[in-house]
Structure 1
Amino acid sequence: MPTEREFQVAPIVPESVMHNTKALSNLQSLTASIFGVAAGILGLESYNGFLFYFVFTLLTTVLFYAFRVAPTSLKSGLGMFDTSRYYRTQYEFWTGGIFGGLAGYILTWTLFYGLIRA
């Protein structure tokens, strides 16, 4: 267990970073399936379906940032888009969930498209 001195020297706690990453990943996986259901019901095909996924996944990340990360980073004096205190990299935060949830999105998209259109 880290001591108080170690927290003062390195205030970023790896366990907290892993927890934050897991919470964001779970949210993005869940919303990817929900977006797949919506795209299948709407009957989206080809590029329109993928564009739907990318737009709404980025919207989900922006909303997560606005409600969870931005208020705490502004209070602590970090920059507006600095997520390094809560996540490993900014790339992982902003685009990590796009490819992680893509398989679930395609699965539910094709399932519900087939159920509605068949």
Structure 2
Amino acid sequence: MSTPAEAAAQQLLYVPNVQFNSSLTTVKFLAACFSGAVAGILGLQNWSGFALFLASTLLTSLCIHTINCRGHPAKYIPNGWAGLINPGQDNASTFILVWTLFYGIVHVYD
């Protein structure tokens, strides 16, 4: 049974925006996976790999800003640009995991 405060907070959530934000997290997660795979296959090490992650995060955020948000990220995402560019701890960890996995698979005998 929910309290009146919880019921009031749930009424503030607009379901289409919640669904939109869940698809954005999926897109950002897949972008982190693919950029980690590219960094591992190319054999990038140290700061060059993280530079690729930063570039892919910025490119993904720019694409989401122009295509999905139609130039108004504050309408869909809390904190607007700051919330859009923030990769999140999960995506950074995913990038590092996939990066080391593909680096180990491709460059095992180098």
Partners in 2 of 1:28 and 1:67 — Cα distance? 14
Q: What is residue 96 of structure 2 aligned with on the other side? A: 106
2:85 to 67, 74, 94: 94
Question: Contact 1:37–1:109 (CA<8 Å) still a contact in 2?
Answer: yes
| Deviation at residue 62 of structure 1 after TM alignment | 0.2
Residue type at the aligned position of 1:40: G
Consecutive aligned runs of 4 or more in structure 1 exceeding 6 Å deviation: none
Distance 2:84 2:77 in 1: 7
TM-score scaled by length of structure 1: 0.73
For 1:77, the equivalent position in structure 2 comes to none
Return the structure number with greater relative CO, CA threshold 8 A, min gap 6: 1
**Deviation for aligned residue 1:43:** 0.2
Runs of 5+ unmatched residues, structure 1:
1-11, 71-79
Letter in 1 for 2:101: L
Counterpart residue number, 1:84: 74
Amino-acid identity (%): 26
Report how far residue 98 of structure 1 moved. Answer: 4.7
* C-alpha RMSD of matched pairs (Å): 1.7
| 1:1-118 correspondence runs (5 A) | 14-70=14-70, 80=71, 82-90=72-80, 91-95=82-86, 97-118=87-108
Name stretches of at least 5 consecutive residues in structure 2 with no aligned partner. 1-11
Q: For this pair of structures, how many residues does the alignment match?
A: 96
